[in-house]
Amino acid sequence: MRSLCFRHLIRTLLLGLLVSFSLAWPALAADKHTKPKQNGVESEGMYSNYVDKGHSQFDKYLGDTSPLTEAELVPALLSAIDQLSKYPRPAVAPEIFRVPHERLEELACTRPCRVLATYQPGEGIFLNERLKPETNLFDRSVLLHELVHYVQELNHERGDSKPCERWYYREIEAYAIQKSFLVMVGSSYRVGFHTNKATCDAQDDQQASKSYHQ
């Protein structure tokens, strides 16, 4: 008799727990699907507020060889420089000129050379007319290289240095950013700056600071 009463008591308790859980389940389910908040802002989880899709968007956009107009390409490259370097995106883009190779040699070299582009402070960027940065990733990186020189000039990078020394370190930085860009867009091409600083020191400072080119 005592055993029967005990089993009845256990059954009653279990039934009560089951009913309580059934009543509470809708509230629990709703709470489970409620987004947690961080500083009062709804989020998907602990790190969701800090997901940065900037690089992946640039990878897809600038790494796509579908034609881009110059008006689309230059702002995108300036934004990429903003992400790949310490330089903020400038409000105004430089003027870009498409010129024959011979004109580039006149601007950037003292003798025949293999220059592809040059940035002339106060004038703009001069590109070999054969370059197709709108569709070619390496040519796109050449334009980016010269845009780096443009933002360096705007930010007076090493402005207190001797002209030749300023030119040397600006080239090192521009090639490093260009290399990072080529990696970012998935290009197999790589670039590097191999001029020894001693070579720069032996040059005439005025000539070395005349332009920045690749």
Where along the chain do its domains lie?
2-48, 52-213
What is the C-alpha separation between 134 and 21, in angstroms, rounded? 63
Q: How many helices (DSSP H) and strands (DSSP E) are in the chain?
A: 8, 6
Please provide the average confidence, as pLDDT, over all residues in the chain: 76
pLDDT 10s digits, 25-67: 444 444 434 333 333 333 333 322 333 444 445 556 788 878 8
- pLDDT class for 212, splitting at 50, 70, 90? low
| Residue 137 reports pLDDT greater than 90 | yes
pTM of the model: 0.68
Looking at the chain, the whole-number percentage of residues with pLDDT higher than 70 is 62
Q: Give the per-residue pLDDT at 57.
A: 55
Q: Give the per-residue pLDDT at 29.
A: 43
What is the C-alpha separation between 120 and 97, in angstroms, rounded? 11
Which of the pair, 156 or 45, is modelled with greater confidence?
156
Contact 149, 174 (CB under 8 A): yes
Q: How far is CA 30 from CA 18, 24, 25, 39, 122, in A?
A: 19, 10, 8, 21, 63
- Report the candidate in 85, 56, 61, 86 with the shortest Cα–Cα distance to residue 75: 61
Residues pairing with 117 in the sheet: 127
Angle at 214 between CA 77 and CA 187, to 5 degrees: 50
What is the C-alpha separation between 27 and 132, in angstroms, rounded? 61
Q: What is the largest CA-CA distance in the chain?
A: 115
Which of the pair, 201 or 109, is modelled with greater confidence?
109
pLDDT 10s digits, 63-121: 887 889 999 999 999 999 999 999 999 999 999 999 999 999 999 988 889 999 999 99
Residues 6+ apart with CB under 8 A from 180: 84
From the CB of residue 69, how many other CB atoms can be counted at a distance below 10 Å? Answer: 8
- Report the candidate in 87, 66, 83 with the shortest Cα–Cα distance to residue 134: 66
